[in-house]
Amino acid sequence: MSTIILFTIISLSAIGAIAAIILYFAAQKFKVFEDPRIDQVEENLPAANCGGCGYPGCRGFAEALVKSDDISDLYCPVGGNDTMSKVAEILGKAVEAKDPLVAVIRCSGSPEHRKKVNSYDGASTCVIVSGLYSGETACQYGCHGLGDCVEVCDFEAIYMDKETELPVVIDDACTACGACVKACPNDIIELRKKNKKDRKIFVSCVNMDKGGIAKKACDVACIGCKACVKVCAYDAIVVENFLAYIDPVKCKLCRKCVEVCPTNSILEINFPPRKVKPAQPVGEAEAKETPARSTGEKENDNNIINQEG
């Protein structure tokens, strides 16, 4: 009996030893080498895991940075240029500074301007509403006002205004991660270049209906009249599908387009108040409009009057 037990113990021990040796060589054969720089890069990322870089979390982005020969197209919107400079120093690669971005709400269709034509009773998400029908107003392109963008923002940089029923972006808190852009089913949120003093000019409308239909649905809708295109000296504005769009790169913030927009669909944000031109007295205005007459002309008029007399 004792011999059987001893033989069993020896057999199991031998099998265990052989299995361990096999597993060891298999692990050595198929082991995956991980570049230690991945950990270094990840430590310098903001750990937001927002996906704004296009990768599933900061770890995935760190791996992409280490494995890429050219990282010029890779960018962390949360960390910005400072973070990317640190990463470039670790990896010994070149990276160019990029203009910071900020989310912009391209819809001004508050209840004041966009009247409701029906009432929705169902799940409170913009995605479901957009999939079921065109919304509570006559504009099928505008904001549904149910706050999908607010729910996905990890930085508390956007909230719903109770009065306008539209989302509002807190520019200083916005990291341009793009989560709200992806969440909006009507594509009314756009990431635009953040200019000096956060000044921006953009068409706050995405309605692609013809002018009359768009204006009937919303008082401040773009009607595609091209008045803004005519006054823009920088070719920064195009009109497609009855909708104007201002290129944030080409725009020089001259504000001429704002002045000529008949529906006030172009917004100017964070600019100082416009200077009001003082009204001229009637006499001075007429004098400026009437050109001054020369001495010779006056003498000629007197001669004509004497001859007629």
Answer whether residue 108 is part of any domain: yes
For residues 168-195, give the mean pLDDT.
94
How much is the pLDDT for 25? Answer: 84
**249-304 pLDDT, tens digit each:** 999 999 999 999 999 999 999 999 887 767 666 555 545 544 544 444 444 444 44
Averaged confidence pLDDT in the chain: 87
On whether both 253 and 140 belong to a single domain, the answer is: yes
On whether both 250 and 165 belong to a single domain, the answer is: yes
On whether both 71 and 149 belong to a single domain, the answer is: no
On whether both 67 and 117 belong to a single domain, the answer is: no
On whether both 114 and 258 belong to a single domain, the answer is: yes
On whether both 157 and 254 belong to a single domain, the answer is: yes
**82-106 pLDDT, tens digit each:** 999 999 999 998 888 888 999 999 9
Q: Residue 105, exposed/middle/buried by CB under 10 A (0-12, 13-18, 19+)?
A: buried
On whether both 237 and 121 belong to a single domain, the answer is: yes
Answer whether residue 275 is part of any domain: no
Answer whether residue 298 is part of any domain: no
Answer whether residue 128 is part of any domain: yes
Answer whether residue 277 is part of any domain: no
The CATH code of the domain that includes 179 is 3.30.70.20
Answer whether residue 228 is part of any domain: yes
Residue 204 predicted with pLDDT over 80 = yes
Tell me which residue range forms the domain holding 49. 37-91
On whether both 209 and 135 belong to a single domain, the answer is: yes
How much is the pLDDT for 24? Answer: 86
The CATH code of the domain that includes 48 is 1.10.15.40
How much is the pLDDT for 256? Answer: 95
On whether both 57 and 205 belong to a single domain, the answer is: no
Tally of domains in the chain: 2
Could you tell me the pTM of the whole model? 0.74
Answer whether residue 245 is part of any domain: yes
Percent over 90 (pLDDT), the chain: 63
Integer Rg of the chain from CA: 33
How much is the pLDDT for 281? Answer: 61
On whether both 109 and 87 belong to a single domain, the answer is: no
How much is the pLDDT for 230? Answer: 97
Residue 177 predicted with pLDDT over 80 = yes
DSSP secondary structure of the chain: -HHHHHHHHHHHHHHHHHHHHHHHHHHHHHPPP--THHHHHHHHS------TTSSSHHHHHHHHHHH-S--TT---TTTHHHHHHHHHHHHT--------EEEEE-----TTTS-B-S---S---HHHHHHH-S-SBS-SSS---S-HHHHH-TT--EEE-TTT-SEEE-TTT-----HHHHH-TT--EEEEE--GGG-EEEE-----S-HHHHHHH-TT------HHHHH-TT--EEEETTEEEE-TTT-----HHHHH-TT--EEEESPPPPPPPPPPPHHHHHHHHSPPPPHHHHHHHHHHHHHH-
On whether both 49 and 107 belong to a single domain, the answer is: no
On whether both 229 and 122 belong to a single domain, the answer is: yes
**142-170 pLDDT, tens digit each:** 999 999 999 999 999 999 999 999 999 99
